[in-house]
Amino acid sequence: MTSERSRDNLIETLKQKGIKNNEVLKIMKKIPRHIFVDEAISDQAYDNTALPIGSNQTISQPLIVAKMTELLISKNPKRILEIGTGSGYQAVVLSQFAQKVFTIERIKTLHDEAKRIFKILNIHNIYSKYSDGNNGWPEKACFDAIIYTAAANTISTSISLQLCDNGVLLAPVCVGSKQILREYLKKDNKLIYVDHGEVNFVPLLNGKK
Which residues are catalytic, by number? 60
The answer to whether 167 touches 145, Cβ cutoff 8 Å, is: yes
Contact 46, 111 (CB under 8 A): no
The Cα–Cα gap between 128 and 81 comes to 10
Helices of type H across 3-124: 3-16, 22-30, 62-73, 89-95, 108-120
DSSP 160-207: HTTEEEEEEEEEEEEETTEEEEEEEEEETTEEEEEEEEE---PBP--S
Handedness of CA 97, 100, 102, 103 (dihedral sign): positive
